[in-house]
Structure 1
């Protein structure tokens, strides 16, 4: 008989956090609060250490490592040092807000290199180890932009749509080994990545009123989705994208007509 009190219990499990700032920091704190040991990885070692320290300050178990997911060889080496993993959470991403005609090839390569190739590197490296063990959960962060776009978001949107395709494929290919792969798609979140929007009051309000809840989300509001997908509560969930967007993709435009 299922013990429902332990559905979200992560004690005895090790989680790798790839991208330890912003949403990643809150995800790490939430995973640790449920008992997981969290390895905080970021290409900025100070960010990784700050999140690990925050987890330790709450009584959790955490370590920090400098890691760049665009370096496939370095990723493989670090994973060998980290050891067995039960959960991997990928939040690392970047965006260059420009219309397509203004984009340079170098900017395209930077965004695609981190968001899409980095995802590919993580799925291969982490997936191979989890498949060999016969268990594990990989959670990659997508975006509402995988489905809804706007001027200046084309390349970012393309990488997130590609990420979701890679997630579905990995779920199919890793599933027989007992490894689950899913994505989380946030709406507008108050993080450094959205600083340009937050700085413009009109833009900020327009985004706040687009969703059904009428406001932006905080990074902490994404953490529950991560814990759910990491835990036994989602044991039959794979190949899915969980939208945590405040109803953004459910709303048809910004105009509310009279009833």
Structure 2
């Protein structure tokens, strides 16, 4: 076993969806640094091009468009590793939620994920190998007021990926979820703008701070690589200890 190259991705084509910003952008750069040929896909083509620079490939993709997803699967084939980070959230109490808001969050966070797994998983299964990596959240496990629909989609994504692992595993395809804690991304800008809210979240985890998007990239590289060749159907928490620590009171010795 060549352990020195365990995390190398030379010869692999990786598609990162949501590569225009945040975790997706850092994941694309980290995967490329480990030798992968990376396609940076995003609904915002300009943002994807900024991530891609002169070394990587940019691709415009709206994951809410089923035909566009199928077209991408055909045009980009073969894709050895699929990473998707795109998500949205509407922070409202259940009784204040509208049906339109519910549909909007579920459509992007869950339905689009289903379509991506189907479109790209098919080719992986036919070739006999592949890695699918989706982004869940601590909200797939722990909840708070105002996170109902987002939390439901993130928990649902875990079960969707676990089922994909079970169904595609015999064909050599792995499927896993990464569950970040609080990360400074455009999705959490609303929280960062409120110091009390921001500080409360920072104090909840064991490390006492928020994560930067780059701190999720290592988990993506790991699950994409042969270092995780026997890892499938799993949820990798990268949450600074959020789900491990109660965090509400530090009792005296």
The TM-score, its normalising length taken from structure 1, stands at: 0.96
Runs (4+) off by over 3 Å: none
Q: Tell me which of 174, 181, 186 is aligned to 2:180.
A: 186
Which residue of the partner structure matches residue 149 of structure 1? 143
1:11: Cα distance to partner? 0.8
Which residue of the partner structure matches residue 48 of structure 2? 48
Superposed CA offset, 1:85-134 (max 9, x none): 11110100000111111111000000000000011001100111100111
Q: Does 1:163 align with 2:157?
A: yes
1:9: Cα distance to partner? 0.7
Which residue of the partner structure matches residue 107 of structure 2? 113
Q: Return the alpha-carbon distance in structure 1 between the equivalents of residues 56 and 126 of structure 2.
A: 24
CA contact (8 A) 2:110 2:157 kept: yes
The TM-score, its normalising length taken from structure 2, stands at: 0.98
Which residue of the partner structure matches residue 255 of structure 1? 249
Unpaired segments ≥5 residues, structure 2: none
Query: Mapping of 1:73-112 within 5 angstroms?
Result: 73-112=67-106
Which residue of the partner structure matches residue 241 of structure 1? 235
Which residue of the partner structure matches residue 36 of structure 1? 36
Which residue of the partner structure matches residue 209 of structure 2? 215
1:252: Cα distance to partner? 1.4
Q: Return the alpha-carbon distance in structure 1 between the equivalents of residues 31 and 75 of structure 2.
A: 21
Query: Mapping of 1:59-74 within 5 angstroms?
Result: 61-74=55-68
1:6: Cα distance to partner? 0.7
1:196: Cα distance to partner? 0.8
CA contact (8 A) 2:205 2:247 kept: no
CA contact (8 A) 2:114 2:160 kept: yes
Q: Return the alpha-carbon distance in structure 1 between the equivalents of residues 247 and 31 of structure 2.
A: 35
1:19: Cα distance to partner? 0.6
Which residue of the partner structure matches residue 119 of structure 2? 125
Aligned positions, number? 252
Q: Over the residues paired in the alignment, what is the CA RMSD in angstroms?
A: 0.7
1:62: Cα distance to partner? 1.3
Q: Return the alpha-carbon distance in structure 2 between the equivalents of residues 48 and 254 of structure 1.
A: 40
Which residue of the partner structure matches residue 8 of structure 2? 9
Q: Return the alpha-carbon distance in structure 1 between the equivalents of residues 135 and 233 of structure 2.
A: 13
Which residue of the partner structure matches residue 196 of structure 1? 190
Unpaired segments ≥5 residues, structure 1: none
1:253: Cα distance to partner? 3.8
Which residue of the partner structure matches residue 134 of structure 2? 140
